[in-house]
Amino acid sequence: MSAHDGIEIERKYDVGEDAVVPSLTGVAGVASVRDGGTALLDAIYLDTEGRELLPQRVVVRRRVGGHDAGWHIKSAEGDVRHEQQWPLGDADREPEELRARIATRLREPAAPLVPLARLVTTRTTLILLDAEGGAVAEVADDRVTAVEDATGEERSWREWEVELLDAAPEGADADGGLLDAVQTELLAAGARPSSSVAKIARALGLG
């Protein structure tokens, strides 16, 4: 079961319940916007009993729903997130190759992974298109409900996420690029740069 490796360039924003995603047609580099539909994402996030991965900004999850259902390892550096993904397979246990990739980050390479939290997200997406119809970015409107495994505590929030897609122009992630142009409109609509580094951190009450 081989992994798919990729890089995501994205930004996240905190928003209130009444916020409305603004019209982004006319933003520099965006000629039109397509409805990307709504999906229900159901994810279990895991770590060792001692939570060794989270301080390293490494996330392991098993997610059902959406176009990228499967097992994931994600690590972050600024707006850039590295991701490895494996198919769901038939078992609830993580793929052996995933275990091998996190082994060097653990004091005990064979330490079992245990659930941290379950996150259920209703995701509504818009696809931003350039003049040729190429998809340059995706804007996701996420409504999240999380239940922490250890305490049973439930937390809910809403966030917007903007991710560059394959047709994004070269340098779109640089200062003055596409992400900045979209961000200007989102901030004007009431969004704020996310106070949390990842959904799982917020699910656990870590910010």
pLDDT digits over 116-151, tens only?
999 999 999 999 999 999 999 999 999 999 999 999
* Residue 186, φ and ψ in degrees, nearest 5: -70, -40
Phi, psi of 81, rounded to the nearest 5 degrees:
-125, 130
Token pair 């550096």 in the structure block, residue: 77
Residue 178 CA to residue 132 CA, distance in Å, equals: 16
In total, how many domains does the chain have? 1
Alpha-helical segments (H) within the chain: 96-102, 178-188, 199-203
Span 55-69, pLDDT tens digits: 999 999 999 999 889
pLDDT class for 174, splitting at 50, 70, 90?
A: very low
The CATH number of residue 120's host domain is 2.40.320.10
Among 47, 24, 19, 33, smallest CA distance to 142 is for: 19
Check residues 86 and 207 and name the one with the higher pLDDT.
86
Higher pLDDT, residue 43 or 29: 43
Rg of the chain on CA atoms, in Å: 17
Tens of pLDDT along 4-36? 888 889 999 999 999 999 999 989 889 999 999
Task: Find the domain containing 124 and state its range.
Answer: 4-203
pLDDT at 85: 95
